[in-house]
Amino acid sequence: MIRRRIETRGRGERASSPAFPRWCTGLAAGLALCVAADAAEPLRLEEVAEGVHVYTGPHEEATSRNLGAVGNAGVVIGTRSVAVIDTGGSPAFGRRLRASIESLTDLPIAYVVSTHAHPDHVFGNAAFDGGGAVFAGHRKLGRALAVRAPFYLDAFERLVGADFEGARIVAPAVEVSGETRIDLGDRVLVLAAYPTAHTDNDLTVLDLRTGTLFAGDLVFVDRLPVVDGSLKGWLDVIQALRRVPAARVVPGHGPASAPWPDALDAQERYLRALLRDVRREVAAGGRIDTAISRAAPEERGRWIGFDRDHPRNVTASFTELEWE
């Protein structure tokens, strides 16, 4: 039995499973085949700009082998302190990330920023708690974690196994509405909260010194975007993101660094095709199951995870557009 503690600001409630991303509900049947990772093994971080280091998550489902860390994680080092942006999917991964940071610098970790509440981005947070770091996120992050914690903890405990020991939700102490700036010493990070898009608690981090934008899952590259907030909202947010004066982006899923704003193009093309075709199906009085086969078929083959996540995106979008 894995012991864990849940810290939340409000009253937690268990949400029904259809509200959760499909990749969370498709539990791996072959867990026994997975080999537990060596916790002492250092992570490979890539320096994508001066003082900006990124762990690139694999395009896989969460397993004991990848420690649930299937999204990207970032580290930014100032002259006084360090910020971590997303911490992977388990305390074991968080500890490895922390060890890697300690091999890069002796400076203290002052901030742990979560780009949103999805489990592959937040369950390493416990490894940084108690060391003096301040936890930050969107003003709706705490509530999202509280509402979804029971499901996420159960799902990732099954997927990740023993290395999920100690997993818990850490409530953010800094809640961002609009913009908040943090200074790591000669290095200012701009934390920006967005309206509902990928989720209802998406936050980006812009390193002003190098123009590196940590977009969280507001930007997917190569892997199919997952709509867990609002399709129309996300398309609006993409237009706002295009105005961010960045030199490069660290997407939530995809390469450690991608050109900006070009990295938005493929994602916008897919989401627009989804909007166009699902809207047409709704207007024609169609059903979700037929919409799944008819919406954006030209996008199959262009994305990793299309067959797994596209049906869910159609379902979520159909429900959203039915009420237009």
Residues that bind Zn ion (CB under 5 A): 118, 217
Beta-sheet strand order (sheet of 258-259): 179-183, 188-193, 203-207, 212-220, 248-253, 258-259
Q: CB of 255: closest distance to Zn ion in angstroms? A: 17
Q: CB of 219: closest distance to Zn ion in angstroms? A: 11
Closer to Zn ion by CB, 23 or 111: give it: 23
Closest by alpha carbon to 122, among 163, 161, 181, 167?
Answer: 167
Q: What torsion, rounded to 10 degrees, do the Cα atoms 301, 302, 304, 305 define?
A: -70
Burial of residue 235, with CB atoms counted within 10 A of its CB: 0-12 exposed, 13-18 middle, 19 or more buried: middle
Q: CB of 224: closest distance to Zn ion in angstroms? A: 12
Closer to Zn ion by CB, 200 or 277: give it: 200
Both tokens of residue 71?
């999204």
Q: CB of 21: closest distance to Zn ion in angstroms? A: 7
Q: CB of 289: closest distance to Zn ion in angstroms? A: 25
**Spatial separation of the C-alpha atoms in residues 77 and 88, rounded to whole Å:** 19
Closer to Zn ion by CB, 166 or 216: give it: 216
Closer to Zn ion by CB, 118 or 138: give it: 118
Closer to Zn ion by CB, 217 or 277: give it: 217
Q: What are phi and psi of 204, to 5 degrees?
A: -115, 160
Closer to Zn ion by CB, 118 or 187: give it: 118
How far CA 105 is from CA of 50, 98, 100, 136, 231, in Å, comes to: 13, 11, 9, 22, 40
Q: What is the phi-psi region of residue 259: left when phi exceeds 0, alpha when psi lies from -120 to 50, beta otherwise? A: beta
Q: CB of 253: closest distance to Zn ion in angstroms? A: 8
